[in-house]
Amino acid sequence: MKTPEEELEFKPRPRAKETVSLDLPKDVLESLK
């Protein structure tokens, strides 16, 4: 089974973006929008 963190990498959830955004570069955040 995948860890919650791994699931976020492949299937980012709307509520998870706030948490993930803390570790992702701004360039990556822009591409998610």
Please state, in angstroms and rounded to a whole number, the distance separating the CA atoms of residues 1 and 19.
21
Domain layout of the chain by residue ranges = 1-33
Question: What pLDDT, on a 0 to 100 scale, did the predictor assign at position 31?
Answer: 76
The residue type of 17 is K
What is residue 15's DSSP assignment? G
pLDDT at 1: 65
Q: Which residues contact 10 (CB under 8 A, 6 or more apart)?
A: 2
Select the more confidently predicted residue: 16 or 9.
Answer: 9
* The pLDDT of residue 6: 65
- Its pTM surpasses 0.75: no
pLDDT at 11 over 70: no
Cβ count within 10 A of residue 12: 15
Q: What is the CA radius of gyration of the chain?
A: 10
